[in-house]
Amino acid sequence: MDSFPSPLCSRIIMQTKTLQQLTLQELASIHLDQYGHPHQLADGWIQSGMGFLVTEIQQSLPRVYTGFFSPLYGAFALLDQIGDIYKNTAMPDCGNDAASGIKKALYYFGGMDFDNDEVKALYGLRNALMHNGSLLYRGRFNKKTNTWDGPFHRFRWNKTLSKSIKLPISPWDGVLDNLNSDCTTEISVVKICELAIDSVAVAKKALDNNTLSISLQEGEKELYYRYLHHQPSEQA
């Protein structure tokens, strides 16, 4: 891959191009703009949905009535998105290309070991929240054995936690009658959101350092139609 221009130089170059003339790397640079700034083009302007997500996370996080579910939904959407699209080629391959986006994002851009217990717990929290707004996760239910596959987590919000997640002293066995404070998994909403937003910055730095691989099957078209918004000049 050729060396990518500096951010300022890149912006100037993109102002002379139409949407169809943007390269995949330029579209990725726009997508990873966590501030959501409109980028001027020759035929209008283009903006990243990721910037909207980051802004909404930051605005909802300190509010009393939106400081839990809303920012977490946004944080996990960010991680899923980044992990589905990008890899950090400066690191060894995660070893499972079919892994979920959040697991790959936490490995390539979040500084966590691939699919370790903390990553599995965060993935479980994401599933519990996204699927039914729950704070309890037991994995898939196996109808053949009539048991849950795990891992097993009952999550509790801890505002004083200094990291995104703290595993329980005693692992929970998935049986509700056996739940107690010693087998509760603690989470910090603030730290999870910081982890997600920082992952965007790490991915952008990897792009600038030519160590970012884009794994979308349909390349430019998929990145544009799924994650970017273009406003033609006659409507701007």
Tens digit of pLDDT for each residue in 65-95?
Answer: 999 999 999 999 999 999 999 999 999 999 8
Instruction: For CA atoms 179, 184, 185, 189, give the dihedral sign.
Output: positive
> Mean pLDDT across the stretch 133-150?
93
Give the model's pLDDT for residue 15: 86
Contact of 181 with 209, CB cutoff 8 Å: no
Rounded to an integer, the average pLDDT of 128-150 is: 93
pLDDT score at 236: 45
Q: Which residues contact 175 (CB under 8 A, 6 or more apart)?
A: none
pLDDT band at 11 (very low <50, low <70, confident <90, very high): low
Q: pLDDT tens for residues 176-204?
A: 999 999 999 999 999 999 999 999 999 99
DSSP code of residue 170: S
CB burial class (10 A; 0-12, 13-18, 19+) of residue 132? Answer: exposed
Cβ–Cβ under 8 Å, residues 55 and 36: yes
Per-residue pLDDT at 2 exceeds 50: no
At 234 the pLDDT is 67
Q: What is the pLDDT of residue 200?
A: 96
Give the pLDDT score at 96.
94
Q: Give the closest residue to 81 by CA, choosing from 97, 100, 95.
A: 100
Instruction: Quick: pLDDT tens for 87-121.
Output: 999 999 998 999 999 999 999 999 999 999 999 99
Tell me: the pLDDT tens digits for 30-70?
Answer: 999 998 889 999 999 999 999 999 999 999 999 989 999 99
Can you name the residues that pair with 152 across neighbouring β-strands? none
Instruction: Write out the two tokens for 111.
Output: 């500084």
To the nearest whole percent, how much of the chain has pLDDT over 90?
81
pLDDT higher than threshold 90 for residue 233: no
What pLDDT score does 212 carry?
97
